[in-house]
Amino acid sequence: MKVNIEVERSVAVPLPAAQVRSLFDDLETTIGRFPKLKRLSRLGPDQYLWELQTIGSRLAKIAHDVSYAAHYQRSADGNEVAWKPIAGKGNADIAGAFRIVPKSDGCEIRFKVKGELRDVPVPLIYRLAAPPFIQGKFIALVETFLDRTREALLAGAAPARKKAAR
């Protein structure tokens, strides 16, 4: 079964956009915060193959091990990284964008993905329920990813603590 996903979420970060742009300087570390990421493999310059742990519920027999490849490109202003799927790699085609929007009190990180999961094993009885169930799982993953990203940025912005003298 094919399942379409579309998720758009954002998170506020009380840091200047210039500081948040560091997310795009090290894509592998940033991507590595995505929950359920089992393996990230570099295929070429700015190209990665994602392999995720099982998403769904094995109990309900709606579970899928998603894998897909994408080519990443940074915008001229440095405030966005967008990606497009690489055809024929994995069992999904997922495109998206990760954008930093400056605000008066910091910035907002906007994350958007849209794509199609292929070959999702779904029992006939669950065919109507599977797409919203899987969409919900992806929304939760994206929200966790944004929370982790925000926490990492804030932790990096914290002043270094001095070691206590002995």
Quote the pLDDT of residue 120: 85
Task: Give me 147's structure tokens.
Answer: 């929370």
Quote the pLDDT of residue 162: 39
Q: Are 118 and 88 in contact (CB under 8 A)?
A: no
pLDDT along the chain (166 residues), means of 10: 94 94 90 95 95 78 86 95 96 97 95 94 82 90 96 74 40
Rg (CA), the chain: 18
Q: How far apart are CA 126 and CA 135, in angstroms?
A: 14
Quote the pLDDT of residue 165: 41
Quote the pLDDT of residue 81: 96
CATH of domain 3-157: 3.30.530.20
Quote the pLDDT of residue 160: 41
